[in-house]
Amino acid sequence: MTLDIITSDLIAPAKHGFFGRSGGASSGVFHGLNCGHGSSDQSQAVALNRVRVAQALGIDPENLMGVTQVHSADVTVLRDAVPDRPRGDAIVTDKPGLALSILTADCAPVLFADTEAGVIGAAHAGWKGALAGVLEATIEAMETLGAERGRIVAAIGPTISQKSYEVGPEFVDAFIAEDDRALRFFAGGEGDRMQFDLPGYVLWRLREAGVRNAEWTRHCTYADPDRFFSYRRATHRREADYGRLISAICL
């Protein structure tokens, strides 16, 4: 089975892809292209899946870089391949041949590029990281390598959509306390529940930060189990674990 790779015209000509779950070696609840080291999947299957991603990008598997994600605003600037995954939720580089990757299963994977400067970035923007400023921190880190935010473009890959993302009042309060304009990204649900528009919020934060050209691919992870892994869907189904989707970019 071939890999399912979603791309964005905004990010081209940088090689990139938001990878679905098709074409992988994992089985069971992880069936498909599970690329999560932190899952309980067989390590050999995860390693093979990541090799397939590297091959699709045309790079050496050793150059597929990532971070140990902790829902933070921490960014790593990479100039060379490293064997260990630094803690944080975003990664940037100006080195050709290095692929930057992010793992998600409902959170927003965001790929960045300033191809004129030869600088790329990848960010894991869950609600905590987005609220903490991981998107803005990624842009600032790219600027240290010579990127200009007016030239930076960004694409958001498969993410849980508003109709599938129910939250409580304390969740809403955290966003309003940061900026009351964020109320526009919440719609009424049942009782005191609200529906949160994560990709819409991420797009707003990007544009507020000066990234004029940004888009969401408009794929919902929760709503399409055949194509995407979803943490929330796995929780609702009482499954023991869930797979992680990979999104990657390289120069």
**In angstroms, what is the C-alpha Rg of the chain?**
17
Q: Which amino acid is at 87?
A: R
d(CA 106, CA 84): 25
In this predicted structure, what is the pLDDT of residue 84?
Answer: 80
pLDDT means over runs of 10, the chain (251 residues) = 93 95 96 94 95 96 95 94 89 96 98 97 97 98 97 98 96 94 93 95 98 97 97 96 97 90
Judging by DSSP bridges, how do beta strands 194-196 and 186-188 pair with one another?
antiparallel
pTM summary value: 0.96
Query: Following DSSP, what letter does each residue of 60-90 receive, concatenated?
Result: -GGGEE--B--SS--EEEESS--SS--BSSE
Q: For the domain 5-147+220-250, what is the CATH code?
A: 3.60.140.10
In this predicted structure, what is the pLDDT of residue 82?
Answer: 84
**Sign of the CA dihedral 2, 220, 180, 213?**
positive
Q: What is the DSSP letter of 159?
A: B
d(CA 11, CA 7): 8
Chain centroid to Cα 183, Å, comes to 23
In this predicted structure, what is the pLDDT of residue 81?
Answer: 84
Residue 226: count other Cβ atoms within 10 Å of its Cβ. Answer: 10
Give the helix ranges, DSSP H, for the chain.
43-57, 127-132, 134-144, 169-178, 198-208, 231-236
Residue 205: count other Cβ atoms within 10 Å of its Cβ. Answer: 21
In this predicted structure, what is the pLDDT of residue 225?
Answer: 97
Q: Which of 238, 170, 215, 185 is nearest to 7 (CA)?
A: 215
In Å, the largest CA–CA distance within the chain is 51
User: What is the residue extent of each domain of the chain?
Assistant: 5-147+220-250
- Rounding to the nearest 10 degrees, give the CA dihedral for residues 112, 114, 115, 118: -100
In this predicted structure, what is the pLDDT of residue 1?
Answer: 62
Six token digits for residue 111: 């790929």
d(CA 155, CA 21): 19
**Cβ neighbourhood burial of 200 (10 Å; 0-12, 13-18, 19+):** middle
